Amino acid sequence: MARPASAQQYESYVSTDSVTIGDRFALTLIVGHDGARSAVFPHEMLLDSLGLAPVFGLGDFEIVRTISQGGRAYDLGGRIDSVVYEATTFALDTARVAGIPIGLAVGADTLVGFTPPLFLQIGSLVPQDAEEIKDLADLAQFDRSLWPWIAGILALLAVMYGLWWWRKHGLEETDDESTAMEPKIPPYEEALERLAALQSMDLSDAENLKPFYVELTAILRTYVGRRAHLPALESTTRELLLRLRTSRAGGVLPDDVVTEIDNVLTHADLVKFADLRPILEQTRAMVAETTEAIEGSESAYRQEDERMEQERQAYLEQQEFAPPELETEAETATAAVSVEEEV
């Protein structure tokens, strides 16, 4: 570090420029800070008591073991902490790590930052004296078979018969019950059902970690999108939070509920896109926090629905007993309110 760690500085580097597949190399992580917090490196975000394998992944790198870990005070103030991992990779051509998370903790509060991306060239396993690739051999000649043509004609006839049968029998059904669609499940009930199903996922298997967070964010985004009439699934986390704080439908939510939604989506983004491996208890706690965010949102929207219904009833009563000369003005006001609600 060329300057005092008055602000957080994150660095990472490897001990070699290139390796072959399966070779071991050293991966060093460094964080400089003001010394008021304790450094939390990736292997410390996992609990040994969970029975997880000692090998864990950081992008294309597989961490085999911790070689050393330590720190020292900086001469100009602050502290530098570091850890050295023994790592390997099985990537082809180039191994890449988008950014490695390093935490700075004080009490229950942890600030997470990321190192710059890392790239490592992967050498070829083919010996330099290997012979050149030979030209392709001539294609083998086989007798043509009529069976593919026969099968294709039979499949076409089957499709044509199916269309004829559907037109004949399908158009004859006029019963309203057969054509009625079942009502769509309300967003709140749908979210609770999906959360209950998600809790049965086996989180002891590391392969289920990312699918768990993908489904968790899909449940929360689907609920918010349906309840607030926002494109939640198509929006980034920052875009969705901005809409919740500025749109008319999103403005119904209290600040603490929006903060809970922000916490869940931000934590899930770290797992899905930054290769963060949270502990098991923290992962299960995300289900409870998501449930609280959905319940808080539902309570706010139901209060808003009741308020709007009371205003509508009051307006209808006022219009019913209004003098005849005010009916035209009332109709104009009704049209203006309808246009405003649609907007």
What secondary structure does DSSP assign to 178-228, as a single string? Answer: HHPPPPPPPHHHHHHHHHHHHTTS-TTSGGGHHHHHHHHHHHHHHHHHHHH
d(CA 290, CA 98) in angstroms, rounded, equals 27
Q: Is residue 174 very low, low, confident or very high in pLDDT (cuts 50, 70, 90)?
A: very low
Name the one residue in this structure whose structure tokens are 């005849």.
Answer: 324
With beta carbons less than 8 A apart as the criterion, state whether 330 and 319 touch.
yes
Q: Is residue 1 very low, low, confident or very high in pLDDT (cuts 50, 70, 90)?
A: very low
Q: Does the pLDDT at position 339 exceed 60?
A: no
Give the per-residue pLDDT at 54: 55
Instruction: Transcribe 255-322 into DSSP letters.
Output: HHHHHHHHHHHHHHHHHHHS-----HHHHHHHHHHHHHHHHHHHHHHHHHHHHHHHHHHHHHHHHHTS
Q: What is the pLDDT of residues 82-98, one digit of tens each?
A: 999 999 888 888 888 88
The mean-pLDDT minimum among 156-160, 258-262, 321-325 falls in 321-325
Give the per-residue pLDDT at 34: 85
Neighbours of 216 (CB within 10 A): 24
Q: Could you tell me the two tokens for 82?
A: 């570091």
Which is more confidently placed, 318 or 143?
Answer: 318
pTM over cut 0.85? no
Q: Is residue 142 very low, low, confident or very high in pLDDT (cuts 50, 70, 90)?
A: low
Domain 9-122, CATH among 3.40.980.10, 2.60.40.10, 1.25.40.10, 2.60.40.740 = 2.60.40.740
Q: Which of 84, 55, 52 is nearest to 69 (CA)?
A: 84
d(CA 290, CA 220) in angstroms, rounded, equals 7
Give the per-residue pLDDT at 130: 58
Q: Does the pLDDT at position 51 exceed 70?
A: no
Phi/psi at 110 (5° precision):
-130, 125
Residues 6+ apart with CB under 8 A from 235: 243
Instruction: Transcribe 136-156 into DSSP letters.
Output: PPPPPP----SHHHHHHHHHH
Give the per-residue pLDDT at 93: 82
Q: Could you tell me the two tokens for 10?
A: 């994150």
With beta carbons less than 8 A apart as the criterion, state whether 233 and 221 touch.
yes
CA 62 to the chain's CA centroid: 23
Give the per-residue pLDDT at 81: 92
User: Sheet harboring 94-97: ordered strands across?
Assistant: 18-19, 118-122, 94-97
Residue 340 one-letter amino acid: E
d(CA 237, CA 291) in angstroms, rounded, equals 18
Q: Could you tell me the two tokens for 241?
A: 């939070």
Q: Does the pLDDT at position 28 exceed 90?
A: yes
